[in-house]
Structure 1
Amino acid sequence: MIDLSTPLLLAAAATFAAAGIVKGVTGMGLPTVAMGVLGALISPLAAASLLIVPSLVTNVWQLLSGPAFGPLVRRLWPMMLAICAGTMLGATYLTSGETEETTIALGLALAIYAGFSLLARPVRVPAHWEPWLSPTIGMVTGIVTGSTGVFVIPAVPYLQALCLPRDDLVQALGLSFTVSTIALAAALGAHGAFELQGLALSALALGPALAGLWVGQALRGRISAASFRRLFLICLLLLGAEMSLRPLV
C-alpha cells in the first residue's frame, strides 16, 4: 500500500515528530499536520491509514486527562454519533481512488480551518441551538474526516464557540478527536483500505509522535502558545492553498 523507501520512512518519522510537537504546544494539530505534509508525499488514503495509531493514543490520553468526561459525553453524544455516521459516508471518497479530488478537498479543509482560526472573532453558540446544531456539526465533521482524514472542520470552531472552561474544552477536543479516529479506522476497514501492514506502520509512527508530544509539552511553558499557534496557522494556510491548487496546475 505504501512504498517503504528509506527517504519516505524518514520523512514520515520527521512529520509525526513535528506533528507531536504542535499537539504538545497547542493541544491539537497532529492529524492536521500529518495529513498536510504526508498528503504531499503519498496518497491521502495512505496518509490517513498512517495516522490512526498515533492519533488514537495521543487523543485518548488527552480525553482521559480532563475532569469532566461523563458530563461531556452526556452533552455531546449526538455530535459524536453524527461524526461516526458522517465518517462512514465520507470515507467513500477517500477510498474511491479519486486522489485528485481528495487532495483538493484536504487542501481546502486545511486552508479554511487556518483562515477561520486566524481571522474570525470568537463566537458563542446559544444553548438552545445545541440540540439541532451539535448533530449537524458532527455530520459535517464526519464527512470531512472520512473524505480528507482531517478532524478539525468544523468541530474545533464549534466546540470553542460553546465557551467551555479551558480544561473542559481540551477534554472535549480529545473526545471529538478520539471518536473521529476510531470512526475513520472503522470506515477504512469497512472499505478494505486499512490492512495489517498499515496498522504496523501506523504503530511505528507512534514513537516519533510521542517524542514530539513530550517536546511540545516541555516547550509550552517556554514560548508563547499564541505566537506559535499563529505561525502554525499561517504555514497551514499556505500548505492548504498549495495542495488545493496543485491538481489544477
Structure 2
Amino acid sequence: MTEALLVAMLAFLLGGVLKGAIGAGTPVVVIPIMSIYFDVPFAVAVFALPALVSNLWQGWSYRHNLSDRGFVLRLVLAAGVGAALGTVLLAALPARALSIVVALLALFYVGFRMAKPDWSLNYGIARRLAAPAGLLAGILQGAAGISAPISVTYLHAIQLPRERFIPTISALFAAMAVVQLPSLIGVGIMSWQILWISLLACVPLFLGMPIGAALVRRVGARAFDRTIMVLLLVIAVMLLFEAA
C-alpha cells in the first residue's frame, strides 16, 4: 500500500508538471497511473480535490485573460451537469470496464493528437457547440476521470492563445470538480480516508506546476508534448494488459 501511495504522489507530481507546462492534461496522466494500482473510482475520487484547488488557483491567476464569458458560462454549466451524470455511471459500472474505458480514452487522445496535430475548429461553430461539448466532457470526467479527448481537443481546436486557453479550461475543470466532489460523497465513493489522500496529493501537484512552467520554456512545448504522448501510450497499454 505504501508503494502504491508513493506511485500516486509521483503521478500527481508528473500531472502538476504537465499542468504547469500547458495548463491542462493532469488527469490524463494521474488517472491511468493510479488505476494500475487502485480501481478507477478510487483514482477519480482522489483526483477530485486537487483538480478543484489547482484549477481555481490557476484560473484565478489568469482571470484577466478570460474573454467571451457567455461562451465560457455555457461550457461550464453543461460540464457541471455532465459531471453529475458521469459520477452516477462511475458508481454503477464494473471496475474492469472502467479501466478499459480509461485506457481507450488515453489511446484515443494520443492517436488523435498525433494524427491531427493542427486540426482546427471555426470559432463561430465552436461557440454553438459549447453546451454539448461541455456536457460530454463532464460525463467523461465524472465516469472515468478523463475528459481530455473532448475538453482539451475541443478547446485546442479553437486555437486559443495560451493566456486565454488556461483560464478557459481551468474554469471548465473547476466547474466539473465542484459538482463531482459532493456527487462522489452522495454515491458513497468518497470517504474520509480518500479525502485525506486527496488533500495530500495537492502537495506534489502544486510542486510540479512551476517545474512544468520552467521546463516548457527550456525544451519547448512541442518536445514536452511528445514526451507526454509517449508516456500516455505506455500507461494505456499497461492498463489494457492489467484489465485483460
Structure 1-normalised TM-score?
0.89
Structure 2 CA distance, aligned partners of 1:128 and 1:15? 37
2:139 maps to 143
Distance 1:134 1:97, change over 3 A: closer
Structure 2 CA distance, aligned partners of 1:89 and 1:125? 27
* Equivalent residue runs for 1:89-104 within 5 Å: 89-96=85-92, 98-104=94-100
Report which stretch shifted further, 233-242 or 6-15: 233-242
Superposed CA RMSD in Å reads 1.9
Structure 2 CA distance, aligned partners of 1:226 and 1:168? 19
Q: After superposition, what is the alpha-carbon deviation per residue over 1:111-140, rounded to whole angstroms, capped at 9, x for unaligned?
A: 111111122142333344245411111111
Does residue 207 (structure 1) correspond to residue 203 (structure 2)? The answer is: yes
Q: Secondary structure at the match of 2:159?
A: coil
Contact (CA 8 Å) 1:93, 1:102: kept in 2 or not?
no
* Equivalent residue runs for 1:77-116 within 5 Å: 77-96=73-92, 98-116=94-112
Moved over 3 A (4+): none
1:68 maps to 65
- Given candidates 129, 134, 143, the residue that maps to 1:133 is 129
Structure 2 CA distance, aligned partners of 1:222 and 1:130? 32
Contact (CA 8 Å) 1:111, 1:238: kept in 2 or not?
no
2:43 maps to 47
Structure 2 CA distance, aligned partners of 1:15 and 1:235? 11
As a proportion of its length, which structure holds more helix?
2
* Equivalent residue runs for 1:119-198 within 5 Å: 119-130=115-126, 132-198=128-194
Report which stretch shifted further, 117-126 or 55-64: 117-126
Q: Where does the alignment leave 5 or more consecutive residues of structure 2 unmatched? A: none
Structure 1 CA distance, aligned partners of 2:127 and 2:30? 33
Q: State the shift of 1:97 in Å.
A: 5.4
Contact (CA 8 Å) 1:105, 1:244: kept in 2 or not?
no
Q: State the shift of 1:239 in Å.
A: 2.0
Q: Where does the alignment leave 5 or more consecutive residues of structure 1 unmatched? A: none
- Given candidates 201, 206, 225, the residue that maps to 2:221 is 225
Q: Secondary structure at the match of 1:20?
A: helix
Q: State the shift of 1:72 in Å.
A: 4.0
Structure 2 CA distance, aligned partners of 1:225 and 1:165? 13
Contact (CA 8 Å) 2:27, 2:47: kept in 1 or not?
yes
Aligned-pair identity (%): 26
Structure 2-normalised TM-score?
0.91
Q: State the shift of 1:154 in Å.
A: 0.5
2:113 maps to 117
Contact (CA 8 Å) 1:151, 1:180: kept in 2 or not?
no
User: Aligned residue pairs: how many?
Assistant: 243
Structure 1 CA distance, aligned partners of 2:168 and 2:216? 20
Q: State the shift of 1:149 in Å.
A: 0.7
Structure 1 CA distance, aligned partners of 2:155 and 2:102? 21
Q: State the shift of 1:165 in Å.
A: 2.9
Structure 1 CA distance, aligned partners of 2:235 and 2:242? 10
Q: Secondary structure at the match of 2:219?
A: coil
